[in-house]
Amino acid sequence: MKEKIVVGISGGVDSSVAALLLTEQGYDVECIFMKNWEDQDDEICTSADDYNDALQVCNLIGLPIHSVNFSKEYWNKVFSYFLSEYKAGRTPNPDVLCNREIKFKAFLNYAMKLGVNKIATGHYAKIEYKNSEYRLLKGKDKNKDQSYFLYMLSHDPLSKSEFPLGDLNKKDVRNIAKKAGLPTADKKDSTGICFVGEQNFKEFLERYLPANPGEIISLDQKKVGTHSGLMYYTIGQRKGLGIGGGHSNLSSPWYVVGKDMIKNNLIVCQGKDNPSLYNEKIIATHLHWISNLKLDTTKELTAKIRYRQKDQFCNIEMLNNNSAIVTFQKPVFAAAPGQSIVFYNDDVCLGGGIIEPYVN
């Protein structure tokens, strides 16, 4: 009897090929399309089009497909956090929470209610069972590796998951899709988060949070412009500041270096080489470790403070079970509070936390 597995299919090429490969490997595959966002504006979330693409793929392969609505769970567990963080002037990472709360909790629980103990997704990452534990590893395609977004997963969901694309490059995935005649073979990869889609991020955020314009202030306390609301900017941002000439003798571009939430001021500096843009140390809070083994804090690790960033060598000093001081071998550019820092030992994803500023 074939082993049954439920694939989370999104209507994109990655999940389509994941379903195809598992079918070819002999699994009894059933597909679930997750609808995580309720919105009447079709320009924002393309779930109807995505479901139609997923349906075409399943019909071609000969797989059953069902649609499940997790929008309530998404709002309560992901979007409410997203809004509260932006309101506080921080830069959240909703994709990390979406993976933990929706794809590998709500979806996994749904599959188990169907009597299936295994799920699969189209993530570019790998799972390895070694030394009596399941470990998360980087995907083969280092440009597409998504382990950064999966660091909040624990041992249990990893033990019940498959990542069929872990040993493939994106080019290989598209070639497999084309060879199989899948309608998603040339479909453009989705960018950002579903509820924003391709629309203007500022316009989207304005629908949920009131704008609060204020002044843009240089490091020497000079007013150099006005901002439309601190929530629209992130540390290290260069584009969209609207600061013209005449404020400095330098021609270098301006960058966001901080936010004064009390005075409602956006703090900026000139030049990407400005020391204020770099962090030798940060605090990592809300730490989550994938491994059950005790972390060796004497060993130099690597870390990413944003997706697709080159690994940065660092050491960590535990403050308590929940937080640590992270010291980088070389100062890192624009560590944004609210974003995730994810730790690695070679290709093994150890876990991570939320970035907070380090204050002497």
pTM comes to 0.93
Long-range CB pairs of 156-159 (<8 Å, 24+ gap) are 157/104, 157/105, 157/108, 158/127, 158/134, 158/290, 159/129, 159/134
Please say if 98 is a catalytic residue. yes
Superfamily covering domain 210-273: Adenine nucleotide alpha hydrolases-like domains (2.30.30.280)
Please say if 194 is a catalytic residue. yes
Q: Is the pLDDT of residue 196 over 60?
A: no
pLDDT score, position 38: 76
Q: Do 4-180 and 277-357 have matching folds? A: no
- The active-site residue, picked from 31, 45, 58, 98, is 98
Q: Is the pLDDT of residue 43 over 60?
A: no
Helices (H), the chain: 13-24, 47-61, 71-74, 80-87, 94-98, 107-113, 155-159, 170-180, 201-206
pLDDT score, position 164: 98
Give dist(CA 132, CA 154) in Å, integer. 14
pLDDT score, position 201: 78
Lowest-pLDDT choice from 105-119, 232-246, 286-300, 309-323: 286-300
Give dist(CA 176, CA 178) in Å, integer. 6
Average pLDDT, the chain: 92
For the domain made up of 277-357, the CATH class stated in words is mainly beta
pLDDT score, position 181: 97
Read off the pLDDT of residues 274-325 as tens digits, 9 standing for 90 and up. 999 999 999 999 999 997 766 777 778 999 999 989 999 999 999 998 999 9
Tell me the average pLDDT across 328-332: 97
DSSP-derived 3-state class of residue 174: helix
pLDDT score, position 2: 85
For the chain, the domains span 4-180, 210-273, 277-357
CATH of 4-180, one of 3.30.360.10, 3.40.190.10, 3.30.300.90, 3.40.50.620: 3.40.50.620
How far does CA 164 lie from the centroid of its chain?
19
Tell me the average pLDDT across 66-83: 94
Read off the pLDDT of residues 268-281 as tens digits, 9 standing for 90 and up. 999 999 999 999 99
Q: Is the pLDDT of residue 82 over 90?
A: yes
Q: Which of 302, 315, 310 is nearest to 342 (CA)?
A: 302
- The active-site residue, picked from 194, 269, 314, 349, is 194
pLDDT score, position 195: 54
Q: Is the pLDDT of residue 41 over 70?
A: no
CB atoms within 10 A of CB 243: 17
